[in-house]
Structure 1
Amino acid sequence: MIDALYVAETGLQAGQKHIDTISNNMANLNTTAYKKGRIEFRDLVVGREVTSLDETGKRDLVSIGNGTQISRVWKEFQSGDLKATENPLDLAIRGGGFFEVLLENGEVAYTRNGAMKVDEDGYLGTLTGYRFSDMIQIPPDAKELEISQDGTVTAYFDNDSLEIGQIQLAGFMNAQGLDSIGQGIYVANDESGNAIYSDAGENGIGILQQGYLESSNVDLVKELVELVTAQRGYQACSHVIRAADEIMQITNDLRG
């Protein structure tokens, strides 16, 4: 019965993390370019010797289930629907790829959120204050800004136009391995591999769509179904603890 308590405890801990992840997905249903989180579980198995001997005179080892735990929490990077905003500083990626931005410490990070602004020095960056690593500076007298599907940025003036840079996209061999640091920002690691840079529209990395933003890829109906499943699993583990406690109480009463 003691084993049953510990096994059920691992189930409760894993179930709570599962429910928290689903709740976070649902809370970010309307967050621009949000990528839903998913959890993978694995069995906790221990090997124990059996009392009987095999034909060689050695004791066998048997695998005994000892509960479950979270093996990893990862992001699903399927593209969300594109939503038209008619704002020239909104940019969406139609397909794979990430924008590369500069963090405050000078390191690079990656995002799918293309809601941009021009900072006080005229550089394109995210609404959260991170500049694009392409370091595209908008002339102060520019009247209009155009970003083509391949990332070419053109500024228009009263009687002239000027190509001022190009936004490149970054791809990864294993995007699911990226570490999330919040606000839709991700950093590369050994699991994701280094970024592979390409112009938009090349090497299957996707194209850019000005005047659009990417919606989250959360499906509310699927999350509700997943939530019910997770809650029932959590409830089952709590029943195991209650049943083990009742059996232990009966055993104590018999001994008394």
Structure 2
Amino acid sequence: MFRIMWNGTSGMYAEQEKMDAVSNNLANMNTVGYKTQQVSFDDLLYGDLSKSKYPVTNGKTQYAGTGVKANEWLRNNTEGPLTETDRKTDFAINGDGYFRVTKADGSKAYERNGQFAIDNTGKLVDSSGNVLDIQYNVDPNSVDFKDDNIVLAQNGEIGIRVSDSEIRDVGKVNLYNVVGDDAMASIGNNLFVPKAGAQVSVVANPSIEQGWVEGSNVDVATEFTDMIVAQRAYEFSSKSLKTGDEMWQLVNNLR
């Protein structure tokens, strides 16, 4: 009976993790560049029931599970839909890669959200004030970006429009990849950092669309389906816990 209660409890914990992930996905369905997170499950250890107090058939060894556990949340890196905005400071990654930004403390982080703006120093920053990393080929202090003078080529080369016929080349916006399907750790605000030991490399043939943003890849129908399944599984686990409790009550009431 203890095993029934342990199994039910572990199932409830695991399904709660699943529902938390689904809720997080639905909350970010309109977040630019957001990638859905998914939860998988693993069986816990199996116990051998080949003991005299357990009835077995045909002399075969019987086993009983000890529950289930939720694994680490995995991120689905499928590209989201691109939406045209016509804003010169909006960049969408068409394919693999991440933008790299410098945070206020000087550390580096990576993101898919290409919704940038110009700060009061003339730098390209995201909604949190993190500065977009640009590989300058001129003195950065001589570059004064404005909302209407930025020109970004598909390969990441960035310049300033001086006139209708002249564009001043100032550098390049590199995209970065990390080896491994789940080599990035989320640090909040749609930012990521490589996990320990992960190898970061520059994307050789980047594809960036100026005047577009990448939407969330959340599929609402899939998320609601997963939520219903998780709720049903949580309910079944709670019923097994309740059944074990009722069985213990019967045992305790025996005279």
Q: Distance in 2 between matches of 1:36 and 1:186?
A: 14
Match of residue 58 from structure 1: none
Range that drifts further, 113-122 or 33-42: 113-122
2:144 is the alignment partner of 1:139: yes
- Which residue, 192, 198, 201 being the options, matches 2:203? 198
Q: Secondary structure at the match of 1:9?
A: helix
What residue identity is the alignment partner of 1:146? V
Q: Distance in 1 between matches of 2:159 and 2:104?
A: 27
Structure 2-normalised TM-score? 0.87
What residue identity is the alignment partner of 1:139? D
State the percentage of identical aligned residues.
Answer: 27
Contact 1:26/1:223 (8 A) holds in 2: yes
Range that drifts further, 75-84 or 64-73: 64-73
Give structure 1 stretches of 5+ with no counterpart.
53-60
Range that drifts further, 22-31 or 128-137: 128-137
Match of residue 190 from structure 2: 184
What residue identity is the alignment partner of 1:165? G
CA displacement, residues 85-132 of structure 1 (integer Å, 9 cap, x when unaligned): 110000000111000111222221110000111222222221211112
Deviation at 1:190, TM superposition (A): 3.0
Match of residue 6 from structure 1: 6
The count of aligned residue pairs is: 242
Deviation at 1:133, TM superposition (A): 2.3
Contact 2:74/2:182 (8 A) holds in 1: yes
More strand by share: 1
Deviation at 1:46, TM superposition (A): 4.8
Match of residue 179 from structure 2: 173
Deviation at 1:157, TM superposition (A): 2.1
- Alpha-carbon distance change, 16 to 32 in structure 1, aligned in 2, over 3 angstroms: same
CA displacement, residues 171-221 of structure 1 (integer Å, 9 cap, x when unaligned): 122142210011110000136x2211135xx1xxx4000000000000000
2:220 is the alignment partner of 1:216: no
1:59-208 correspondence to structure 2 within 5 Å = 64-134=64-134, 137=140, 138-139=143-144, 144-158=149-163, 160-190=166-196, 193-199=198-204, 202=205, 206-208=206-208
Contact 1:85/1:212 (8 A) holds in 2: yes
- Alpha-carbon distance change, 65 to 154 in structure 1, aligned in 2, over 3 angstroms: same
Match of residue 57 from structure 1: none
Q: Distance in 1 between matches of 2:135 and 2:183?
A: 27
- Alpha-carbon distance change, 174 to 19 in structure 1, aligned in 2, over 3 angstroms: same
Q: Distance in 1 between matches of 2:63 and 2:51?
A: 14
CA RMSD of aligned residues (A): 2.3
Deviation at 1:63, TM superposition (A): 5.9
Give structure 2 stretches of 5+ with no counterpart.
53-60
Structure 1-normalised TM-score? 0.87
Q: Secondary structure at the match of 1:231?
A: helix
Q: Secondary structure at the match of 1:153?
A: strand
What residue identity is the alignment partner of 2:191? I
Q: Secondary structure at the match of 1:168?
A: coil
